[in-house]
A and B are shown apart, each in its own frame.
Chain A
């Protein structure tokens, strides 16, 4: 009911304003009694021309306020080696585009203000100038050449395949609405999987006949990675497309059903160090889902801990292997059966 009344009030308000304007217009028309009809009166046009410069200033103040005031609320410095490269590239591009943004907007509003109509002046008949047009084709093109070459150099660096033997090989498994991590174990090779094997006991559909799978370690809730070592992540999805997004490491890769995707990166700052840097004792790296995947897409996360290598090894040693877990499961099942 209140909503209905509010709506009516808004509508009536608009009508009232419009009628006021109408009355004003009629009285103005009576006063002026213009001989030649002009659809836009001088005072109307002047009013808008005068607004141009104040609007330009307000616009610039507003935009730059966000540039500077919120620097601290953005993501902290990149916690991976390629992430630092991305940030440098980003800052470079940001400077270029900020210059373009400022120059064009300043010229636009300044011209709009300056060349406002004047009965004593005639506009310049200026239809084209090949030289000028060449200049503003070639100048942006050469700027873009720099942007493209620099950007592609970084991209090639990031996507260059890494030596899996030397890396920490692991798999991130996505499903509605949770993440699971699997480590490749002592042989550093992930065991095969087949989606038809999915079961309560085997949510990752791992093929137990593949010996490489026996020493794999599956963890839930949070996963650890060592600092300064390359982490090779393979991604798999169970049901729909998800996207593994690790914003602090500047890492993102889609997890696509029926397809294996991958990404590798080297963390450079441990969780403990980052907590100090951000002055936030509760800080944690996160893995979140960044591709719409269903109702609870907005809360699909996993904690990531970057440890020193010793801590990481210690933590990993505590985790059970796939074989150990399967045997334990089997034992409980057998004893359950026996009890029945």
Chain B
């Protein structure tokens, strides 16, 4: 099957070449804006994600200022938010809610879903499986443009008069369904919903493309069990996304109906602004089921790609095969599968049947097994290695640390009895930030540093990379480790201020610690931004295969050309992890090298 697809694909590209030469050189618009080249689309995703990431991070610094020093004026707040939302530099309570909502939305969806998968799936899938491009370049372009427009709408919603959506990123109705419930449930909420609908469309187009490309366009010899783990991770992610995002889409559509067309899917028996609403019979809990049916797989959509990235970087930089290749694939697939069976653990205290709760406790805790397998396999990959600490490798090590540190508190949250008291407190906030927020961000940086030479043909500066890593790593622990203890002190999340509760006074200095580290962490990202954009133009020219890697993307020429390989596509003869194989002169054997006589494949 792949052979046929390959020849079709080849012919296709030759036509394109002929076409290009005959008519026009790609101009600015067709090269950078409306491009169908997966490498350029990947850069578009990356730059958009970096922009959204900076926005999301700044929002978090703004509300961290308020949380550490409530009621104090900060000129920086007045500068960015204006007199209406920060009179005398004191953050307004409604704006606080908008900031946390949009911070969450941007980080979860725009940076770590769209940005992360969009960047690396696009860059690596065709290059690592040896394809000319994605199965459909046009759909790929559409996928980016849906993402870009939805990003733009989300970003612009911060500037409207009634304020951006402020009902929390989980947008539970009735709060999100009733514009009269709070200012941020009005126009801001409508824009949020619109943006999300477009986002889901873009994400689905991307997922379909990734799946089809991986299944059909693998080059000769690239069997499924010779795929790098990155590709396995992107494949699982895309399948999970394809199956879960439509459910969010449905949930959001029903919410739009409830908001604007008088239906009562989620509304029942509500009395608000002095009036009894007509709607009866709906259930707000239904929305939560629909939302978390996406929402939980979503965290795996975020973390699986960075598992793939880390596996690849760990193996390359340790000069060792990844330990337990098949077990790694197995755990990716089982995490992907189990992610659909656990959504109820977000709803232990919604009043759902306690027996159903027990089932979700069971399924959720089972996920710890494949996660543990992955962690131990990572450790064994490091063991006996010959490790070079590139910035990417540091980020990979950092990711394993934060993933484990954040992951273990999941065992507490998955236990319904324990969840009663920590549900919706800062304990949860600390848990998910460290296990999927920080880990995924570290993984994303890992990928950027590692494949930057592949993207731009230049190297990033190592020293800035090291400084960036260590400051970020320290900040991650400094922010999120103490935060657990605020939660154990009983502080609910999404509180504008804890001053109304003398009970929390003793915890205030933890909040200050957290905010100080948050500011350090935010400033450290300046090092990355500088390094990224500076190296893009002025970095050292990279050699063909800077990390002495086995995978196919380093076999394609650094110069950008549509179709990736100038001549025939490479043929694959072995798995991608033949590092330090006994009996070889070099400590790496690229996938294109045929097996020598008598050599067995791993």
Interface set of A (CB-CB < 8 Å, partner B): 2-4, 6, 10-11, 14-15, 17-18, 21-22, 24-25, 37, 39-41, 44-45, 47-49, 51, 55, 59, 62-63, 66, 70, 72-75, 83, 85-86, 89-90, 93-94, 96-98, 100-101, 104-105, 107-109, 111-112, 115-118, 121-129, 132-133, 136-137, 140-141, 144, 147-148, 151-152, 154-156, 158-159, 176, 195-196, 198, 205, 235, 238-241, 243, 245, 247-248, 250-254, 256-262, 282, 286, 288-299, 301
User: In the complex, are the beta carbons of A128 and B349 less than 8 A apart?
Assistant: no
28 pairs from A and B in contact (CB 8 Å cutoff): A2-B75, A11-B526, A18-B464, A18-B531, A39-B547, A75-B489, A89-B417, A97-B409, A104-B401, A108-B378, A112-B387, A115-B383, A115-B385, A115-B387, A118-B386, A128-B327, A155-B358, A155-B417, A196-B271, A245-B490, A252-B424, A253-B349, A254-B351, A257-B270, A258-B281, A259-B351, A262-B351, A291-B172
Which B residues are CB-close (under 8 A) to A235? Answer: 351
Which A residues are CB-close (under 8 A) to B421? Answer: 75, 83, 86, 247, 250-252
| B71 interfacial contact with A, CB 8 Å | no
Which B residues are CB-close (under 8 A) to A128? Answer: 323-327
- Report the separation of the CA atoms of residues A45 and B462 in the bound assembly, to the nearest whole angstrom: 10
User: In the complex, are the beta carbons of A195 and B547 less than 8 A apart?
Assistant: no
- Report the separation of the CA atoms of residues A254 and B401 in the bound assembly, to the nearest whole angstrom: 34
Min distance, Cβ B357 to any Cβ of chain A, angstroms: 7
User: In the complex, are the beta carbons of A126 and B380 less than 8 A apart?
Assistant: yes
B424: nearest residue on chain A (CB-CB)?
A290
A-B contact count (CB 8 A): 376
B513: nearest residue on chain A (CB-CB)?
A66
Which A residues are CB-close (under 8 A) to B160? Answer: none
Task: Give residues 418-463 of B contacting A (CB, 8 Å).
Answer: 418, 420-421, 423-425, 453, 459, 461-463
A157: nearest residue on chain B (CB-CB)?
B417
| B152 interfacial contact with A, CB 8 Å | no
- Report the separation of the CA atoms of residues A123 and B182 in the bound assembly, to the nearest whole angstrom: 60
A44: nearest residue on chain B (CB-CB)?
B462
Closest 10 pairs between A and B when the two form their complex, measured CB to CB = A258-B268, A261-B351, A124-B384, A159-B354, A247-B490, A97-B408, A48-B389, A298-B495, A151-B415, A3-B79
Interface set of B (CB-CB < 8 Å, partner A): 75-76, 78-79, 93-94, 97, 167-168, 172, 174-175, 178, 181-183, 267-272, 276, 280-285, 318-327, 349-351, 354, 357-358, 361-362, 365-366, 368-369, 372-373, 375-380, 382-390, 394, 397, 400-401, 404-405, 408-409, 411-412, 415-418, 420-421, 423-425, 453, 459, 461-464, 466, 470, 473, 477-478, 481-482, 484-485, 488-490, 492, 494-498, 500-503, 506-507, 510, 523, 526-527, 530-531, 534, 542-543, 546-547, 577, 579-582, 587, 602
User: In the complex, are the beta carbons of B178 and A240 less than 8 A apart?
Assistant: yes
Which A residues are CB-close (under 8 A) to B424? Answer: 243, 245, 252, 290-291
- Report the separation of the CA atoms of residues A301 and B503 in the bound assembly, to the nearest whole angstrom: 12
What's the dominant secondary structure at chain A's contact region?
Answer: helix
- Report the separation of the CA atoms of residues A112 and B123 in the bound assembly, to the nearest whole angstrom: 29
| Residue among B378, B390, B415, B580 with max Cβ neighbours from chain A (10 Å) | B415
Q: For A123, give its contact among B183, B267, B386, B494 (CB under 8 Å).
A: B386
Which A residues are CB-close (under 8 A) to B577? Answer: 127
- Report the separation of the CA atoms of residues A73 and B513 in the bound assembly, to the nearest whole angstrom: 15
Which B residues are CB-close (under 8 A) to A107? Answer: 379
- Report the separation of the CA atoms of residues A154 and B358 in the bound assembly, to the nearest whole angstrom: 11
Beyond A128-B326, A140-B369, whether A292 also contacts B167 by CB under 8 A is yes
Q: For B416, give its contact among A41, A125, A151 (CB under 8 Å).
A: A151
Which B residues are CB-close (under 8 A) to A41? Answer: 462
Min distance, Cβ A277 to any Cβ of chain B, angstroms: 14
User: In the complex, are the beta carbons of B390 and A21 less than 8 A apart?
Assistant: no
B496: nearest residue on chain A (CB-CB)?
A298
Which B residues are CB-close (under 8 A) to A94? Answer: 412
User: In the complex, are the beta carbons of B271 and A239 less than 8 A apart?
Assistant: yes
A299: nearest residue on chain B (CB-CB)?
B500
Which B residues are CB-close (under 8 A) to A253? Answer: 349, 351
Which A residues are CB-close (under 8 A) to B534? Answer: 18
Beyond A44-B462, A137-B369, A298-B497, whether A74 also contacts B485 by CB under 8 A is yes
- Report the separation of the CA atoms of residues A293 and B173 in the bound assembly, to the nearest whole angstrom: 10
Min distance, Cβ B459 to any Cβ of chain A, angstroms: 6
Which B residues are CB-close (under 8 A) to A288? Answer: 492, 501
User: In the complex, are the beta carbons of A301 and B182 less than 8 A apart?
Assistant: no
Beyond A148-B362, A176-B181, A282-B502, whether A126 also contacts B323 by CB under 8 A is yes
